[in-house]
Amino acid sequence: MISASCHCGSLRLEVDAPPSEVTECNCSICRRYGVLWAYYPPHQVRMLPPDPPTDVYMWNGRSIEFHRCRNCGCVSHWAARRRRNRMGVNVRLMPPEILAGARVRHRYGADTNRYTD
């Protein structure tokens, strides 16, 4: 079990398997947040507490919610409002060795939405 938690510990996201790949995206929001995403079907991610204390920022036609801890400000995950088959978990909130064991892929979200590798 892999646990991602914000800095103050107010919220935690748990997944059963470590990500084999993480995505570094250069779109206008991801590059500012400095996040690395691992994608999971939402039913594979347990949130503790189930309704975590987050603030939400919406953009991109209000289709994706970017969540951050209300207390410490760490960006924890994104959730899609319409296409709900996957969500993004910020791997920066996981233990460093999880990131060290994953392949980092670069996504050109600023333009083509393609991976550069």
User: Rule CB under 5 A: which residues touch Zn ion?
Assistant: 6, 8, 10, 69, 71-72
Residue with smaller CB distance to Zn ion, 67 or 107:
67
How far is the C-alpha of 94 from the C-alpha of 74, rounded, in Å? 12
For the bound state, the minimum distance from the C-beta of residue 114 to Zn ion, rounded and expressed in Å, comes to 33
Q: Which is nearer to Zn ion, 6 or 35 (CB)?
A: 6
Q: How far is the CB of 4 from Zn ion (least distance, A)?
A: 11
> Where does 29-74 show beta strands of DSSP type E?
37-40, 46-48, 54-59, 64-69
Of 46, 11, 50, 13, which Cα lies nearest the Cα of 3?
Answer: 13
Q: Per the structure block, which two tokens stand in for 60?
A: 């991109």
Q: How far is the CB of 48 from Zn ion (least distance, A)?
A: 12
Query: Toward Zn ion, which CB reaches closer, 4 or 87?
Result: 4
